[in-house]
Structure 1
Amino acid sequence: MTTTPEAPASTAAAMDALDQRLSQRFIALDPSGYFLIKLDRDAAELVLEHYGNTIDDKGLARDSETGDVLRCDGVNAPRRPSAIYRGRTAKQLGIQLTEGDGPHALSRLDHALYLGRELQKAEQCLRNDTSYVQD
């Protein structure tokens, strides 16, 4: 088995800086909703909760039921997911989300790419028994 060498520190730092800069760009919200990714270590599964929302004329996500603006700081009223997906790998969840007859819980390609990156990261944390924090 061959191993891939680590990137030199200067390359890794440049990659981290680029990633941080790209994270600051404007992102249009997916009108189909958003996802929270969790790890169920007892079941050795990734858990993906989907929450619906509506996007107002200012681009703010609002709770579909109450009309309240959804805050990013976690100070929202408790919500129930509209769907829960479970799988052992990022690929398994990706297939559940995108293949077969719709409707699908994703409507934007940039959202799908983001979700794929986050699911890969969550899978690695599950494999390595490390903590996972969704970006």
Structure 2
Amino acid sequence: TPDAPWYDPIHGQIEDIAVAAGINYTLPDAAPGPDAAAVADAASMSDTDRTAMIQTMVDGLEARLKTDGGPVEDWSRLITSLAVLKDMPRANAAYAAAQAAFAGKPGDLSALQAAAKKAGLAP
């Protein structure tokens, strides 16, 4: 996670290591998130309004991934977010779609499996 003490030193070397290995790799942009004002606004919302706001954000992520695809981190975020919202049928569907999207990529499938486990989905 970005707050881990080892994150910055390792993150800063990923592209250089890829080049040294002969791989053309560019780190993806950071996932968009709410700014401080949006977080403060959310804190003052009723539980119903806050849940509706979160649902809208999750729906947007799901729509983008279905249309454009995305990195395994975004799919993992969708799976766990749907589970937090207690929408297990959609979480399972997202997990299945992600597994299909990353078939043949063991590292990505492992990350998805970890997200599914965290979300409480059956392996």
- TM-score (ref. length: structure 1): 0.24
Which structure carries more strand by proportion?
Answer: 1
> Which of the pair has the greater relative contact order for Cα pairs under 8 Å at 6+ separation?
1
